[in-house]
Amino acid sequence: MLSTMQDVPLTVTRILTHGMTIHGKSQVTTWTGEPEPQRRTFAEVGRRAAQLAHALRDELGVDGDQRVATLLWNNSEHIEAYLSVPSMGAVLHPLNVRLPAEQLIWVVGHADDKVVIVNGSLLPLLGPLLPRLPSVEHVIVAGPGDRSVLAGAAPRVHEYEELIAGRPTTYDWPELDERQAAAMCYTSGTTGDPKGVIYSHRSIYLHSMQVNMAESMGLSVKDTTLVVVPQFHVNAWGLPHAAFMSGINMLMPDRFLQPVPLAEMIERERPTHAAAVPTIWQGLLAEVTANPRDLSSMARVTIGGAACPPALMAAYDKLGVRLCHAWGMTETSPVGTMSSPPAGLTAEEEWPYRITQGRFPAGVEARLVGPGGEHLPWDNRSAGELEVRGPWIAAAYYGGSDGEVLRPDDKFSEDGWLKTGDVGVISDEGFLTLTDRAKDVIKSGGEWISSFELENALMAHPDVAEAAVIAVPDDKWGERPLATVVLKEGATADYQALRAFLGRTVAEWQLPERWTVIPAVPKTSVGKFDKKVIRKQYADGELDVTRL
């Protein structure tokens, strides 16, 4: 028996039209560094999205599923592209502004991008690459910046505002198949070339609904979210689409991602929510500790991309800001878990739940797989690799413009589950605790040592700003941990004291014998610890290691 329900496609177009009509008075506020930020209502953003669609179709010839890339900061123009490009049937491709030049060239070529919309301030990055980007036929420049770097460029160059000016503010949006490609993002390419993940209209729509659930980010039309997480990082964790769906006001920081302007915009614009990786919040904490600012409006922060040190959570608790753990990947759109403790608990009783990665929503199925391929119980003790599946989780990677898809064995199981590469345990209540990346776990004398656990314990020390732990070869045990620490200003290294501090919470056999101080932990293009750089530094003898 079939249902009697209407079969209405779940598309980005419906998010766009709903947001600009039902929530037309909600605002996208873009920080400009000027006394007054730029403010546009959702209705105005929707009208400008229609104008952009006309320009792309009529002037630039985008009439199908061509790829339109963005090299933009988080701002209003980027939101317009987010909504316009998929709604007209093309595919949005946000480019990671922090990728190395060679990877950026590879990604643009692999995606076969025809158009690039770029902020003027990022022209020094794009301009020198254009001779090596043969697929790019048009460059659209938004905002101030030196256009001279585009002199002699092969692609046609357009000014964003001039291109959309005078065009109709409505568009006859096509009725699209909800399984059609809407947007694509590439992984950060920490090992090998970046891998392309293509999101469907359906997956974006369903993911947006999940982001808006009370057990996820739990935002409403009364909220303002500070979208620090870059729009090239898994579609800003789905916040732009979710915000337009629910009327959530957006505060966009543009290029002002440093602690001082972030503190200023929080104090002046009073957002109630924010989202970013831990390194952002560590930098902001240092700033407001040295120069106190009022962060009291920002009651809730979604933190992901890397494990959040419990000491950082505790520090923000004292400021009245609650950091909420989430876990996800480019391949999971990205919401995979969100840490909301069960009801009826005291603050002390909530703590063991808060420091987990959280619970799986209804749209995400999970399982743990042991070294021999066995499925492990959810007993909060049995550690294995996390595998997931669901309607907003990738089933393959983009193989290129010939339409091929890639399902490498190390990324997908035979029965279609995504192998996350994360190692952890799951409780009987469904709370995930990650203990390491599969590639980072330290195998010492036949036992596993969690680099995450050692790092979190070290970062609880008052003299330690950051810490990263890697496995290094050991003649006796196979591998042993090397602790690399970044000290706070004015602190000095006392490795014996640090080791004794670790010994309060970590088993003695797991304590590192090798220690070194580094100026900063290397980061990937999305702010995660880049341990492969530290491994190479150690292998090349570039680290001054003390062995206790």
The set of catalytic residues is 187, 331, 443, 448
In angstroms, the Cα distances linking 335 to 23, 209, 244, 319 are 24, 11, 17, 26
Length of the chain: 548
510 DSSP assignment: G
Instruction: Please state, in angstroms and rounded to a whole number, the distance separating the CA atoms of residues 422 and 409.
Output: 16
**CA torsion, ordered 524, 526, 529, 530, to nearest 10 deg:** -20
Distance (Å, whole) CA 547 – CA 407: 43
231-to-30, 74, 275 alpha-carbon distances in Å: 13, 6, 11
Three-state secondary structure call for residue 487: strand
Structural element, H or E, at residue 28 = strand 27-30
The stretches of 192-304 forming alpha helices (DSSP H) are 201-211, 234-237, 239-246, 259-269, 278-290
b/e string for 406-424 if b means 16 or more Cβ within 10 A? eeeeebbeeeebbbbbbbb
| Cα distance between residue 92 and residue 113, in whole Å | 9
Q: Is the peptide bond before 168 cis (omega within 30 degrees of 0)?
A: no
Beta bridge partners of 426: 432
Q: CB of 343 within 8 A of CB of 374? A: no
Which residues on adjacent β-strands are paired with residue 522? none
Query: Which residue reads 């009826």 in tokens?
Result: 344
**CA distances (Å), origin 95, targets 327, 443, 505:** 22, 36, 42
Give the integer Cα–Cα distance in Å for 382 and 432.
12
Closest CA to 93 of 183, 189, 219, 207: 183
Structure-token match 């009022």, residue found: 294
Q: According to the 3-state scheme, what is the secondary structure of 475-519?
A: CCCEEEEEEEEEECCCCCCCHHHHHHHHCCCCCHHHCCCEEEECC
Burial grade of 1 (CB within 10 A; 0-12, 13-18, 19 or more): exposed
Residue among 237, 203, 198, 236 nearest 65 (CA): 198
List the one residue out of 158, 143, 170 whose CA is nearest residue 30: 143
Three-state secondary structure readout of 415-451: CCCEEEEEEEEECCCCEEEEEEECCCCEEECCEEECH
Please check whether residue 450 is in contact with residue 441, taking contact to mean a CB–CB distance below 8 angstroms.
yes
Name the DSSP class of 143.
Answer: S
